[in-house]
Amino acid sequence: MNTADFDFHLPEELIAQTPLEKRDASRLLVVNHETGQLEDTHFDEIIDQLHPGDALVMNDTRVLPARLHGEKPETGGHVELLLLKNIAGDDWEVLAKPAKRLKVGATISFGDGRLTATVLEELEHGGRIVHFHYQGIFLEVLESLGEMPLPPYIHEKLKDRERYQTVYAKENGSAAAPTAGLHFTKELLAQIEAKGVKLVYLTLHVGLGTFRPVSVDNVDEHEMHSEFYTLSEEAADTLRQVKASGKRVIAVGTTSIRTLETIGSKFNGEIKADSGWTNIFIKPGYDWKVVDAFSTNFHLPKSTLVMLVSAFAGRELVLSAYQHAIDEKYRFFSFGDAMFIK
């Protein structure tokens, strides 16, 4: 299986640079993976795809304003840090730019010295382990100094940073939003729940590896980055009941899918409360354990996410659905439109 098999030409103007004014006004392409039928609808009509007794599973992670602009006190040189993951206490793995001058022991100052970082260790690809020094509560300092780490293909400034959070975001820790969830409003979720659909939340802290196109030609050689997930006992119990009653587990986005399938694979198809690190890579040929249908945005050519969607619906159908979306001028990527695959 070659990476080039998952390539497609996307006109630049279809990459959504800003969110729509109304979250659920996005378009929704419904794909029936058994019949191959495509249907153009709007996102608020997703309720018609959900049946009483089904579970809608969402990722309640919250994006950290993880992009920090600082300077080296001795030279005044500009340094940008992107927080990737909290290793322990105030030690973080970060991406630094420019990295080459940041040797072990170097310090960086942010916001008139309200926050400083000391380099503890050098990693490859511009990675560093740093220790932060500050007064007060780290998340509050970060909220006041940090910017949202928007993906590299978004060039517009985000006016309202909450628009890069889902309305149910709760658990701090992501470097990127679980963007399939951005379309839901509180009102739409209330209507879905009133229909008898169970709303279930899990947490997967999204890493930046999500955005990376696959750089190797042979898909089997691609290494996924690890991401931390949690599924509570209460959520697992609800999902077991849904499965036992013959209803569907419907995942919102690839992060929810990766969490559910990690757990299903670990426990031989059973759904159990669990937390840990996952680097699951779902690609064509994968044997699905838990997820029966899902919503997702439109993804980058050659990305692991296009491969994941193809693992469920088949590569040819997915690429033809993408071509349909391009022809119909759907909006792509994080702030773009959605598809529902059943």
| Model pLDDT for residues 16-33, shown as the tens digit of each residue | 999 999 999 999 999 999
Does 192 share its domain with 227? yes
Does 168 share its domain with 133? no
Number of independent structural domains in the chain = 2
Least confident span in 74-78, 157-161, 182-186, 210-214: 210-214
Does 213 share its domain with 330? yes
**Three-state DSSP state, 15:** strand
On the question of pLDDT at 325 being above 70, the answer is yes
- Our CA angle for 246, 250, 251, nearest 5°, is 145
Say what the pLDDT of residue 209 is.
64
Does 82 share its domain with 218? no
Q: Which among 145, 169, 196 is the end of a domain?
A: 145
Per-residue model confidence as pLDDT tens digits over 303-317: 889 999 999 999 999
Spatial distance between the Cα atoms of 274 and 305, rounded to a whole number of angstroms: 23
Domain-located, residue 225:
yes
Q: Which among 113, 145, 177 is the end of a domain?
A: 145
Spatial distance between the Cα atoms of 211 and 82, rounded to a whole number of angstroms: 14
Domain-located, residue 152:
no
Spatial distance between the Cα atoms of 202 and 230, rounded to a whole number of angstroms: 6
Domain-located, residue 155:
no
Provide the residue count of the chain: 342
Does 36 share its domain with 173? yes
Would you give the DSSP letter of residue 311?
A: H
The residues near 282 (Cβ < 8 Å, ≥ 6 apart) are 257, 258, 261, 307, 308, 311
Does 198 share its domain with 319? yes
Does 164 share its domain with 227? yes
Residue with tokens 């792509």: 332
Average pLDDT, the chain: 93
CATH number of 333's domain: 3.40.1780.10
Packing angle, helices 304-313 and 253-266, rounded to 10: 70
Spatial distance between the Cα atoms of 116 and 193, rounded to a whole number of angstroms: 45
Least confident span in 122-131, 216-225, 327-336: 216-225
Does 195 share its domain with 254? yes
Does 56 share its domain with 77? no
- Domain of residue 76 covers 67-145
Domain-located, residue 153:
no
Integer Rg of the chain from CA: 20
On the question of pLDDT at 214 being above 70, the answer is no
Does 176 share its domain with 269? yes
**Distances from the Cα of 213 to the Cαs of 6, 23, 119, 124, in angstroms?**
10, 27, 29, 18
Domain-located, residue 154:
no
Question: Is the whole model's pTM more than 0.75, yes or no?
Answer: yes
pLDDT band for 220, please (50, 70, 90 cuts).
confident
Give the count of beta carbons closer than 10 Å to the beta carbon of residue 107: 16
Domain-located, residue 191:
yes
CATH number of 82's domain: 2.40.10.240
Does 132 share its domain with 276? no
